[in-house]
Amino acid sequence: MTEPTPAAGKIAVVDYDPRWPDVFAREAERIRAALGERALRIEHAGSTAVSGLAAKPVIDIVLVVADSHDESGYAPALEAAGYLLCIREQEWYEHRMFKGSQPEANLHVFSRGCPEIDRMLIFRDWLRANGGDRDLYARTKRELSQRRWERVQDYADAKTAIVAQIMARALAAKK
């Protein structure tokens, strides 16, 4: 397992790139080719999955497998396809994150039925449909990107309050 590289400065947040969905589609196909039926679901998540939303130029991918704890069932195939295991969070839904470099991607692996999958996709879909919250999130990310960060996770943590506000609206709308 490799350790994530510290951000050591500002986070690059760029205007939406209409090529991102195609980049995701190519990566999804590469993952499907590597895993076959072990890839139960592959979704484009994060800001690059929301048309018009400024984002870090990193494609976030959600991969659902039968059991993310059972790394032997999928990690070697992902590593052979060019993904490196960087994060193992056994205490948080048995989440695994692999990094892809060409293109730059964060591949989030969860087990079937994990509630975090739905949460990530509800947030994505809400931002796709709600311009006001999409703009609010973009402004927040751009403001935070001007600060200097020791780690990318610190930048992500700084967005927690606004994400929680937006998520509350998204969940309320689903009721």
> Is 45 in contact with 120 (CB distance < 8 Å)?
yes
* Tokens 């994505």 found at: 124
Q: By C-alpha distance, which of 155, 165, 153, 168 is closest to 3?
A: 153
Contacts of 116-121 spanning 24+ positions with Cβ under 8 A: 116/92, 117/41, 117/43, 117/62, 117/64, 119/167, 120/43, 120/45, 120/46, 120/62, 121/43, 121/45, 121/62
List, for residues 45-104, the tens digit of each pLDDT value.
Answer: 999 999 999 999 999 999 999 999 999 999 999 999 999 999 999 999 999 999 999 999
Residue ranges and CATH numbers for the domains of the chain are 20-174 (3.30.460.10)
Q: By C-alpha distance, which of 16, 28, 18, 91 is closest to 55?
A: 16
> Is 135 in contact with 142 (CB distance < 8 Å)?
no
List, for residues 104-147, the tens digit of each pLDDT value.
Answer: 999 999 999 999 999 999 999 999 999 999 999 999 999 999 99
